[in-house]
Amino acid sequence: HGVIRKKGADVICPIDEEIGASYVHCLEGEDNVGPANYMLSYTWGYTIGDIVDSLVEFCETTQQSPKRVYVWMCCLCVNQHRVVKLRDEGKVVPFEEFSDTFFQRVNGIKNILSMMTSWNDPGYLKRAWCIYEMYVATTSSECNVTILMPPKEKYLFAKEIEEGQGGNMFFKVMSQTDIEKASAYPADKDLI
């Protein structure tokens, strides 16, 4: 039982009124929670430190208060208690239902932050769900997509542009994206 699920273990979920709430439903006060104005698209393999550093730098760069940038993250906003319950019962959310919900969320929030690290071998471009999220966001006329990198990765990327092969390395990395080779649960990958 991870930190995220533990936080809401004894809390009534405001959506289905059952015990076990998402992390976000355990937060109170406008300095801690509010309607999402950004959605973070990332892989679960990224470190918390890299995620925090990227979001802090984003707030600084865009001159927004971190207390008013409300970021929707699946691990914090999806009720993990229900996910585990379905898994334990041998059930899964049908792809069509998940896809429709995701599409509505992306188009409702309208601002997608796609986090990529490392810059020269981004795990993001190796995950089928991340590629799908980017596809949905970039094919929607309503969405704005911003690419985020942890500050240390942005520094290395800038250094490569100045001292290395310039943009050629970046385009090489991007051109190697292959949805057929991207990883996901087999059932998900077939549907994506």
Q: What are the pLDDT tens digits along the chain (192 aa)?
A: 577 889 999 999 999 999 999 999 999 999 999 999 999 999 988 999 999 999 999 999 999 999 999 999 988 998 888 888 888 998 877 778 778 888 889 999 999 999 999 988 888 988 888 888 899 999 988 899 999 999 999 999 899 888 877 677 777 877 877 777 788 766 666 666
Say which DSSP state 13 is in.
Answer: P
Which one, of 78, 94, 152, 77, lies nearest residue 120 by Cα? 152
Per-residue pLDDT at 189:
65
Q: Nearest CA to 73 among 92, 46, 97?
A: 46
Contact 10/19 with Cβ under 8 angstroms?
yes
The pairing of beta strand 71-72 with beta strand 38-41: parallel
So what's the pLDDT on residue 73? Answer: 94
pLDDT of residue 52: 97
Distance, CA of 89 to CA of 93 (rounded, Å) = 12
* Contact between residue 127 and residue 183 where contact means Cβ atoms under 8 Å apart: yes
What CA–CA distances, in Å, run from 16 to 19, 22, 92, 98, 110?
Answer: 9, 11, 18, 17, 26
